[in-house]
Chains A and B, each alone.
Chain A
Amino acid sequence: QVQLVQSGAEVKRPGASVKVSCRAAGYTFTDHFIYWVRQAPGQGLEWMGWIDPRSGGASYAPPFQGRVTMTRDTSISTAYLEVGRLRSDDTAFYFCARALPQAAAGSDSWGQGTLVSVSS
């Protein structure tokens, strides 16, 4: 079955960077885009961007452009999200999710989430 397994929780200082991984299993990694979505505690979902694992091309939501980088390693079916210049309001759960074959149609499988806490 499809599985997305994310890396563990992180605690970072303001101004630092964090890199979260998302390992895919149970399907052909390059056949589906990967979304990254975050959710601050008690808040709603926020789409950060997506990456096409086949080409490596990524698209970012405007609030994150310039501060977020999405990459992938096809040899280990893993996608990565790096967020730089962390602020306290970046404290959130970060989810990866597998897109449907039509990439913009939605996501049918989600990782368990990675809590990133930013505090001085």
Chain B
Amino acid sequence: QSALTQPASVSGSPGQSISISCTGSSSDVGSYDLVSWYQQHPGKVPKLLIFEVTKRPSGVSNRFSASKSGNTASLTISGLQAEDEADYYCCSYAGSSTLVFGGGTKLTVL
């Protein structure tokens, strides 16, 4: 069970769109529609942005969207805002009652 692979960092300017990839394997991301995404600001607890690949909890901005193709899931943030600067983590069910997180991606808003 290896951590999912995310880019270490991404950046974008206010108003732009960015995407963060999350690559797993046929044992996790590729086999289950159970990918979630979290946002974590420095010194804060993680916040759920997306669950079951594409679903947003109530209260999460529709600027956040997500998808999956094969073994790779993606989070897209549109209309980038300064407050979006944070760390982002993907997470997937990996079978046998286990979950696995990605290594995290630091988003910088230029």
Interface residues of A (CB under 8 A from B): 35, 37, 44-47, 49-50, 59-62, 95, 97, 100, 102, 104-108, 110-113
Q: Tell me if B101 and A45 are in contact (CB < 8 A).
A: yes
Give chain B's interface residue range (CB within 8 Å of chain A).
20 to 34
Minimal Cβ-Cβ distance residue in B for A4: B45
A45 with B97, Cβ < 8 A, contacts A105-B34, A105-B52 known: no
- On chain B, the residues within 8 Å of A49 by CB distance are 98
Interface residues of B (CB under 8 A from A): 1, 3, 32, 34, 36, 38, 40, 45-46, 48, 50-52, 57, 87, 89, 91, 93, 96-104
Q: Tell me if A104 and B38 are in contact (CB < 8 A).
A: no
Q: Tell me if B45 and A111 are in contact (CB < 8 A).
A: yes
Q: Tell me if B102 and A44 are in contact (CB < 8 A).
A: yes
Of A61, A106, A110, which is within 8 A of B36 by CB?
A: A106
Q: Tell me if B51 and A100 are in contact (CB < 8 A).
A: yes
Q: Tell me if B89 and A44 are in contact (CB < 8 A).
A: yes
Nearest 3 A-B pairs (CB), nearest first? A106-B36, A59-B97, A106-B51
